[in-house]
Structure 1
């Protein structure tokens, strides 16, 4: 076993086999091995937080949060800006961990680092926004005003596909608005989604007790949701797991923000630039092996353009080199786990058995699944109905704009979409009819921005939004006060 970054800022001697909770300490839940999907090599060992660890962390966080809420907002913001500088200064070691632990190519690591820094900067800006508003008093002579106060302790449960970015997306606004955080990284990426985060804020001077990094599985997550000190849970993951989190949080009348799955469409109208649309489609379906909630799971293409679009998409799929993401020129790394690659195989296999056709790809090599293009996809097939979370592009033709809208909306999900057309008014008219929380014209489906309200509709979330000023609503609550001159 070799720890990535040994002898550097991220050297493992400090954190091997430990959790971060009031400093680095041994956990009650034992340890877990961290492995590399591309090679199977054991990279490191982290602690696993047991329910007793979560209970201790919740109590420590609640005590620390009371003092943190009294710190001036600009001082809280400065901690985030220092964390951003730590992320910049150690980007090489951090990138290596993202590549080896998550199976993404180096460009994916660079993206997470840049986007994570953007999230920190955007969150720091929240400190300068008005903290409340003066209201018209209900009685003449009174003063009436309302202001935002922290929730207290926020539980953040993160997935493996963008572990560093998603951690920054939730905990940065939560901290700058005066909350403490219990962060549970996914078991596949406990270093890039947990240890790195702890080291960043440790170096940035965040007061002890405000951030607890608690790796673990379902039991750890359940303990965080149930902990009486946790006022809110921010969860990113599958729709099935999100429903379970919502049920458990509801028992405690806790606020819950759910960013869940998607079955997203790229809609290519008959006046689109075919090659540009196919390039967007390839990036949306094949980028990071399609392992993103915002990946394109359907390519809805006007019947007159299906042939050239399909040919262009196949060319781009075949041009993507698959292999160890550390190797020069590799564009497609491994799928995160055996469980996930089996799921992709099942969805493609069942669809082919029902009449779909594999035009390229479709056969895995260990955890490596090649970019795959399917046609003859019917709306009853798993490739159409299920979120694949793999590098698979099902193509479905349509004849009219109205039919494209109807097909795109034929799903319980409602996260994101893209519409391609040389006519922006026409693309806009289509986009406005799509039941999604986000839509992008002449672009990829997979987009994110720190200042944008990110989230979905239907089975893609509970209507919550993270990003920009939407974070004010997520991570604070209102308090109203009136003052009278005399009783």
Structure 2
């Protein structure tokens, strides 16, 4: 076994256990955590069974009243201490993110910085005005409306940004007075679960407020179905999101779905080709393309397509593929055999249908090199499917109207980017794209703690997380009246 993260957190305390009012043996047994780059076993973690989830739901519900009644300053103090622990333990978090999720160290640094930003923003949420004084229906009467916590929130987390996505939901949910059941993905249960539990444990979060329950689909289904859970915040694939929504819908729960995307990076004929190609390379090849906001289509005006494609190929060839722990590596392995096989299938089927590989296109184990495709048409998987790998399909267009039509030719609607020498022109094109987020002369893959993050179409259910949208998501209205003097 490859031992990492010695010292903190104490492996003897958490190995093979779940976190539910302390570290406990689970009914679901244990599962090894495998390093994608080497195949080494990094640790064994406990897997929460449906029975474990049920017990955690009871404990979270029991703790909800006291946590909701706590002074906002007390909840803020926990978040501030958690920020301090994360800074102090950043080396451990980075190492686990690199080893467990196969991101390069810069990806680990990004997750840590983004998680700190989420914690800082949640501190402000705790003291935002939450109510309104309404016009009373009777003279001299009182009519008030204010937001109260939902109670128990279930968070089902993906593997591609395990720390960030856990904290992105946890921080506002806790700040606003909710208790939480967190189910990290079984591929990243330490960086997205164990370390998060220890982070808040060290920050002094009261027992029972947070429960960390690693596991697969049956664990997630149990969280979504638990009668004590009032809301599910899910980040993952559209197919899995539909399944979670079906289960949660039976209980009439609130559901926040942040799902997949087939995002376009649009390059108009007056764009800076080199800057656009760099943004395109980062948008598609960063973290092996394993992001819902990755660029899945590069739409380039015919006047620039040759120069753009040449530049994109140069960026792809300059990225070294290998173990992300090694100096100079820019692309690590994809997360699993299933994901590698999926990327390979999409490229191979597209090539068989007439697409051309300009660079890359052949995997070795879990390592898939940055790949650029041209001669892509609309019947090919590279055009229609979310690839979730480092593959850049390039498609030419002749007019703005054609670019908009191609970009909108998908059921997804998450993110986009538009490049032009004229910001007003790019903004006008961006306004025609059916996406929840769009960025001018920048990458597709962006997020900010104070921004409402989410998509349209099958990229979500219209919900948003981040900024003041988190106040709306993690609370509900209560109305109270009192009559005036008789």
1:318-397 aligned within 5 A: 318-397=317-396
* Contact 2:266-2:298 within 8 A present in 1 as well: yes
1:4 paired residue number: 4
Structure-2-length-normalised TM-score: 0.99
CA distance in 2, matches of 1:316, 1:471: 37
What is the CA distance between 1:3 and its match in structure 2? Answer: 3.1
1:6-85 aligned within 5 A: 6=6, 8-85=7-84
What is the CA distance between 1:138 and its match in structure 2? Answer: 2.4
CA distance in 1, matches of 2:3, 2:45: 11
- Cα shift readout 1:344-369 (whole Å, capped 9, x = no counterpart): 00000110011000000000011000
Tell me the secondary structure at the aligned position of residue 69 of structure 1.
helix
CA distance in 2, matches of 1:35, 1:303: 45
* Contact 2:264-2:299 within 8 A present in 1 as well: yes
- Cα shift readout 1:186-233 (whole Å, capped 9, x = no counterpart): 010000000000000000000000000000001100100110000000
1:146 paired residue number: 145
Indicate whether 1:203 and 2:202 are aligned.
Answer: yes
1:242-261 aligned within 5 A: 242-261=241-260
- Cα shift readout 1:268-317 (whole Å, capped 9, x = no counterpart): 00000000000000000000000000000000000000000000000000
CA distance in 2, matches of 1:74, 1:438: 33
Tell me the secondary structure at the aligned position of residue 402 of structure 2.
helix
2:467 paired residue number: 468
CA RMSD of aligned residues (A): 0.7
* Contact 1:154-1:174 within 8 A present in 2 as well: yes
Structure-1-length-normalised TM-score: 0.99
Indicate whether 1:478 and 2:473 are aligned.
Answer: no
CA distance in 1, matches of 2:464, 2:21: 30
CA distance in 1, matches of 2:283, 2:2: 34
Misfit runs of 4+, over 4 Å: none
What is the CA distance between 1:128 and its match in structure 2? Answer: 1.5
CA distance in 2, matches of 1:474, 1:25: 31
2:285 paired residue number: 286
CA distance in 2, matches of 1:138, 1:162: 49
What is the CA distance between 1:140 and its match in structure 2? Answer: 2.5
1:88 paired residue number: 87
CA distance in 2, matches of 1:450, 1:3: 33
* Contact 1:401-1:430 within 8 A present in 2 as well: yes
What is the CA distance between 1:380 and its match in structure 2? Answer: 1.1
Paired residue total: 486
What is the CA distance between 1:9 and its match in structure 2? Answer: 1.4
- Cα shift readout 1:77-104 (whole Å, capped 9, x = no counterpart): 1101110110000000110000000000
Tell me the secondary structure at the aligned position of residue 352 of structure 1.
helix
CA distance in 1, matches of 2:284, 2:165: 20
What is the CA distance between 1:10 and its match in structure 2? Answer: 2.2
Structure 1, unmatched stretches of 5+, are: none
What is the CA distance between 1:145 and its match in structure 2? Answer: 1.2
Indicate whether 1:303 and 2:302 are aligned.
Answer: yes
1:166 paired residue number: 165
- Cα shift readout 1:29-78 (whole Å, capped 9, x = no counterpart): 00000010000000000000001100000000001011001101121011
CA distance in 1, matches of 2:301, 2:238: 30
What is the CA distance between 1:19 and its match in structure 2? Answer: 0.2
Indicate whether 1:238 and 2:237 are aligned.
Answer: yes
What is the CA distance between 1:139 and its match in structure 2? Answer: 2.6
- Cα shift readout 1:3-36 (whole Å, capped 9, x = no counterpart): 3112x11231110000000100100000000010
What is the CA distance between 1:482 and its match in structure 2? Answer: 1.2
CA distance in 2, matches of 1:222, 1:55: 11
Tell me the secondary structure at the aligned position of residue 174 of structure 1.
helix
1:425-464 aligned within 5 A: 425-464=424-463
What is the CA distance between 1:144 and its match in structure 2? Answer: 1.1
CA distance in 2, matches of 1:140, 1:398: 65
Tell me the secondary structure at the aligned position of residue 331 of structure 1.
strand
* Contact 1:163-1:192 within 8 A present in 2 as well: yes
What is the CA distance between 1:133 and its match in structure 2? Answer: 1.2
